[in-house]
Structure 1
Amino acid sequence: MHDGQILMVFKQPSDSPVRVCTVSPDSTYLSTGAADGSVVLWSIPQTKFHRSAVVKDGSVVACAFSPRGNILVTGSSSGDLTAWDENLKCLYNGKAHDLGVTCCHFSPQPTTECGLGYFQLASCGQDCEIKVWLVSFGSIRDFGIRYQFTLNGHSAPVLSCAFSSDGQILASGSVDKSVIIHTVKTGCILHILTHHTRYVTSCALAPNHPLLASGSMDKTVTVWKLENANDLPVYSPKIETPCPVEFWSEQEVADWLSEEGLKEVEQNFKANNVNGKKLLHLTKESLQNDLKIESVGLCSKIVRKTEELKGNVNPDSSSIPDEFLCPITWEIMRDPFIASDGYSYERKAIEDWISRKKRTSPMTNLPLENLLLTPNRTLKMAVNRWLEDKKYVKPNHLPQVTTPVD
């Protein structure tokens, strides 16, 4: 962390894309979970492979070490939770969430029930629920996982959950664009935070300060002060439009590209002195021929964004999350598939692209490693839920904290 030097590089033995990773509390092990269901433990002090295993079904999409570091819990896209010991011996496997687990997190502090000691484990999933489990922390011989209760409140898949350092509250983020803060002891909702305009993919509570960070597909990270009664964000950067687009300078166009996640084409625009007036007249053909942007996906995205600037896009369609749109057609994906470049495309669009003997990525223009297409079921479910819930109305009343949590 001092100079950015690479200390070690680990490569998943199965050569499958790594979906999730975590480090044990004492930094003894790094755990990685992959799309093919493989779980690997790496020894950090010895910088080498330690053990590997495979989950019963699906991809590994979540993992967490117990506070003592002797238990690893993984969650799969099939909905199972699996507990492993330090040698990746399976201690427990069971169904936790219909449609798949998305995240799991241990409470740092132990709890007691009927005189026995446990750590609480939270898991969340595509079924819109957060479940809390009791994990015994005695010897491995006495290991067990027991369901405790379910936390509700989200109206769409829950993508992330995190305990506070004292284990008293649990924060969660969802496809419904909200962050909910729950009390663990009573299961009550303390706050519903609806600041984000896209779905919330991550959340984290600071160890020693009353701060919550939430990350979203709206391209912002918002930091909240928990003791603030109005729950106003401490910091959430936004780029304001200083003047009508046609009067934008070249630098203002570059700032707009950065805000829209298009920084990679900034140099192409600067080399061609694209100001606001030129921006409004760009077409796919001029982007490819004049600005030399070869990626069809990027050209489609730029054209759509400029149409939004001109007000030529239906308000309903402009609210569609970018990640739901096919990079080739720039239309909402009904049957998304992942190509070997890591991007998702509408199945017919990418099949047509490949059938025209284009063995390159529509997004990067680099050669595709292979022509394998994998269904993106998680994205498909998110799209379907968004289509069903796009009339979702944010709640007007936000529950407030009236007394401190013990």
Structure 2
Amino acid sequence: MASLLCTLQDHRDDVNCCALSDRFLASCSGDKTVRVYSCEDFSELRFSPLRAHAYGVHCCCFSSCGRYLASCSTDARTIIWSTSTGAAVAALEHPARAPVRVCAFSPDTRCLLSGASDGTVAIWDVTSKTLQRCAKVSEGTVLACCFSPCGQMFVTGSTLGELHLWTRSVGPLHTQREAHDLGVNCCHFSPQMSLDGQTIKFRLASGGQDNQLRIWIISQHATTGYEMSLLYTLSAQSAPVLSCAFSFDGQLLVSGSVDKTVTVYDANHGELVHTLTQHDRYVTACAFSPCELMFASGSMDKTVNIWRIGDGNAQASLRMMIRKHFLFVVWTGSKPLGYSRTLVSDWSEEDVCEWLRDEGFEALVDAFRAHNIDGAELVTLNTETLTTAFNIESVGLRGRVLRKIKDLRSSLLDSDSPDEFLCPITRELMKDPVIAADGYSYEREAIESWINTPNRSSPMTNLPLQTTILTANRSLKMAIQRWKSSQ
């Protein structure tokens, strides 16, 4: 069953989009604001609402790491906000100053994609806050975009009704013409992938002006390239479908429509599970939590409804399990949430203090805070600075701090390395890459730790590993070594 947890009524105009991270709920509106709430009790955060856009805000989204929130507007800007302070980290102006209708982070948080009314998309580097590429992808307005779960490609949908599949550098991969008659309004990838021989398969949902919600299979084959085939056409709603979202496990699909309903489907069988009618006007937005069966829906009635599917106690246990699993997958269980999910160069002064405590250097916290040391300054510290500025006379203590700082410098090197050199589990530069049964290369220690858990499925495809035998990838190791030498 689906139960309504609460209704938020803080916006003064239509709610255009909503987004959920593991900790926060965000909503944006024609009233030019973005509002941010705690997922614990749905109380509004102290720095909310966020006010920097000059016109209505069309879309908002969280980065997978949870540190950033992005929003885009008719004012042609996409703003990146800090979820810890509410400060605007960057205001990215579309090159052609066209109204920006939709935005999406890549799974690794390195890129931010924005689609505009002139049919172009802009790809921004999140770390440097600079434009990587701007390209024309449609003759219509880009209303939908999303990255694949692997992060190597993205989809765009426009008012012309076509779905386009692109490489991360905006190279064309596939075009699905007449995906929706009269236009595509939304799209969303399922977080789950599957492997069938040498073919990787993704599921994509899209909603359109034709009142249809569709589930597509995108197949990526090593030799034949990309194909897109229709799996289901879902017709429970009687008016244009404006929003759609898969659950974190890919089992459910939710959509919102002009007919004022929210529908929930079994994504595996294409069967309607729930029809929710609590909104009084068009349902413009819906978003699932990344760690539990809870979702939000937003409407032109100026409200955001929070829904839970299933038993609350079971959901609490599931949420804890998913969070623990997420920690293991992303950080191999060795680092806490917070600063460890972010590049060192982006650490705040408080992040540095948290890092010092976690590394056992509590005695140095006050000195580092007094010198206003943030992440960018931390990696520049050397023996002389630690001795003279911080009065660290102990040779042993200085040595331990410098070794930890050296490790942080290495992590910065990892952040600039080619994606194929990074372990999919740790997202760090591989030292001893091995090939697993799923065909992917991993850092040996990381995949061995993964295999030693009860999970025993591929970190990339979620399918069972047919064997636990690991094969050294010597050619990749040599390529990484050559790249490191060139740096």
Structure 2 length-normalised TM: 0.45
Structure 1 residue 8 corresponds to structure 2 residue 90: yes
Superposition deviation, residue 11 in structure 1 = 1.1
Structure 1 residue 124 corresponds to structure 2 residue 207: yes
Write the distance in 2 (CA, Å) between the matches of 1:106 and 1:139.
21
Write the distance in 2 (CA, Å) between the matches of 1:94 and 1:137.
15
Instruction: Work out whether residues 25 and 68 of structure 1, in 8 Å CA contact, stay in contact via their aligned partners in 2.
Output: yes
State the AA in 1 paired with 2:148.
S
Partner of residue 246 from structure 2, selected from 147, 158, 163: 163
Superposition deviation, residue 154 in structure 1 = 0.4
Structure number with the higher strand fraction is: 2
Superposition deviation, residue 141 in structure 1 = 6.9
Structure 1 residue 19 corresponds to structure 2 residue 19: no
Secondary structure of 1:128's match?
coil
Superposition deviation, residue 44 in structure 1 = 1.3
State the AA in 1 paired with 2:255.
S
Instruction: Work out whether residues 179 and 192 of structure 1, in 8 Å CA contact, stay in contact via their aligned partners in 2.
Output: yes
Structure 2 residue ranges without an equivalent (≥5): 1-82, 313-487
Secondary structure of 2:280's match?
coil
Write the distance in 2 (CA, Å) between the matches of 1:20 and 1:139.
31
Write the distance in 1 (CA, Å) between the matches of 2:290 and 2:138.
34
Q: How does 1:339-350 map to 2 (within 5 A)?
A: none
Instruction: Work out whether residues 171 and 179 of structure 1, in 8 Å CA contact, stay in contact via their aligned partners in 2.
Output: yes
Write the distance in 1 (CA, Å) between the matches of 2:223 and 2:141.
26
Which residue number in structure 1 is paired with residue 187 of structure 2? Answer: 104
The verdict on how the C-alpha distance between 1:140 and 1:76 changes in structure 2, with shifts beyond 3 A counting, is farther
Structure 1 residue 28 corresponds to structure 2 residue 115: no
Please tell me the root mean square deviation across aligned C-alpha atoms, in Å: 1.9
Write the distance in 2 (CA, Å) between the matches of 1:195 and 1:32.
31
Partner of residue 163 from structure 2, selected from 73, 81, 88: 81
Superposition deviation, residue 207 in structure 1 = 2.2
Partner of residue 90 from structure 1, selected from 172, 175, 180: 172
Superposition deviation, residue 51 in structure 1 = 1.2
Q: How does 1:290-329 map to 2 (within 5 A)?
A: none
The verdict on how the C-alpha distance between 1:209 and 1:143 changes in structure 2, with shifts beyond 3 A counting, is same
State the AA in 2 paired with 1:52.
C
Superposition deviation, residue 145 in structure 1 = 2.2
Instruction: Work out whether residues 125 and 132 of structure 2, in 8 Å CA contact, stay in contact via their aligned partners in 1.
Output: yes
Q: Tell which has more relative contact order, 1 or 2 (C-alpha 8 A, sep 6+).
A: 2
Instruction: Work out whether residues 111 and 120 of structure 1, in 8 Å CA contact, stay in contact via their aligned partners in 2.
Output: no
Deviations 1:113-157 (A, max 9, x none): 688431100000000001111123455972332222211100000
Partner of residue 45 from structure 1, selected from 120, 123, 127: 127
Instruction: Work out whether residues 199 and 222 of structure 2, in 8 Å CA contact, stay in contact via their aligned partners in 1.
Output: no
Structure 1 residue 213 corresponds to structure 2 residue 296: yes
The verdict on how the C-alpha distance between 1:91 and 1:115 changes in structure 2, with shifts beyond 3 A counting, is closer
State the AA in 2 paired with 1:193.
L
Secondary structure of 1:207's match?
coil
Which residue number in structure 1 is paired with residue 463 of structure 2? Answer: none
Structure 1 residue 154 corresponds to structure 2 residue 237: yes
Which residue number in structure 1 is paired with residue 227 of structure 2? Answer: 144
Structure 1 runs (4+) greater than 6 angstroms displaced: none
Q: How many residue pairs get matched?
A: 229
Write the distance in 1 (CA, Å) between the matches of 2:157 and 2:130.
24
The verdict on how the C-alpha distance between 1:138 and 1:45 changes in structure 2, with shifts beyond 3 A counting, is farther
Structure 1 residue ranges without an equivalent (≥5): 230-406
Which residue number in structure 2 is paired with residue 226 of structure 1? Answer: 309
Which residue number in structure 2 is paired with residue 56 of structure 1? Answer: 138
Q: How does 1:66-77 map to 2 (within 5 A)?
A: 66-77=148-159
Instruction: Work out whether residues 55 and 76 of structure 1, in 8 Å CA contact, stay in contact via their aligned partners in 2.
Output: no
Superposition deviation, residue 83 in structure 1 = 1.1
State the AA in 1 paired with 2:162.
D
Superposition deviation, residue 176 in structure 1 = 0.5
Q: How does 1:211-290 map to 2 (within 5 A)?
A: 211-227=294-310
Deviations 1:17-60 (A, max 9, x none): 11111110101111111101011111112221111211232010
Which residue number in structure 1 is paired with residue 417 of structure 2? Answer: none
Instruction: Work out whether residues 176 and 228 of structure 2, in 8 Å CA contact, stay in contact via their aligned partners in 1.
Output: no
Structure 1 length-normalised TM: 0.54
Secondary structure of 2:94's match?
coil
Deviations 1:317-361 (A, max 9, x none): xxxxxxxxxxxxxxxxxxxxxxxxxxxxxxxxxxxxxxxxxxxxx
Superposition deviation, residue 67 in structure 1 = 0.5
The verdict on how the C-alpha distance between 1:70 and 1:138 changes in structure 2, with shifts beyond 3 A counting, is farther
Superposition deviation, residue 174 in structure 1 = 0.3
Which residue number in structure 2 is paired with residue 181 of structure 1? Answer: 264
Superposition deviation, residue 68 in structure 1 = 1.0
Structure 1 residue 199 corresponds to structure 2 residue 287: no
Superposition deviation, residue 86 in structure 1 = 1.6
Instruction: Work out whether residues 154 and 167 of structure 2, in 8 Å CA contact, stay in contact via their aligned partners in 1.
Output: yes
